[in-house]
């Protein structure tokens, strides 16, 4: 039986995205992600499989919250293509 998660996904994804923004994907190591998120590498691998998986989830979270929010702020309802 696995232990329950002791972290909040949204905060973790925000911290990971910030690390990727500062260093770029290639320049961000697992150690950097450990420092940014406060989690050990085992927890990161367990939750996201690898660095690419964490990056994909962090990018999707950024798109949903930041980009989606900005688009919604300026795009009137029904103004998009059918």
Does the model's pTM come out above 0.85? no
Per-residue confidence band for 3, with pLDDT thresholds at 50, 70 and 90: very low
Between the alpha carbon of residue 76 and those of residues 5, 63, 71, 79, 80, the distances in Å are: 39, 19, 9, 6, 8
- Token look-up 């690419």 returns 52
pLDDT computed for residue 67 by the predictor:
85
Per-residue confidence band for 82, with pLDDT thresholds at 50, 70 and 90: low
For the stretch 23-60, pLDDT in tens is 999 999 999 999 999 999 999 999 999 999 999 999 99
Q: Where are the alpha helices (DSSP H) in 6-79?
A: 9-23, 30-37, 41-48, 51-62, 68-74
């Amino acid at each position: 039986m696995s232990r329950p998660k002791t972290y909040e996904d949204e905060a973790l994804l925000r911290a990971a995205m910030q690390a990727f923004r500062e260093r770029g994907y290639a320049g961000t190591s697992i150690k950097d992600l450990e420092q940014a998120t406060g989690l050990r590498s085992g927890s990161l691998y367990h939750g996201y499989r690898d660095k690419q998986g964490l990056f994909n989830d962090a990018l999707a979270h950024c798109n949903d919250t930041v980009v989606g929010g900005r688009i919604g702020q300026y795009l009137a309802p029904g103004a998009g293509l059918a």
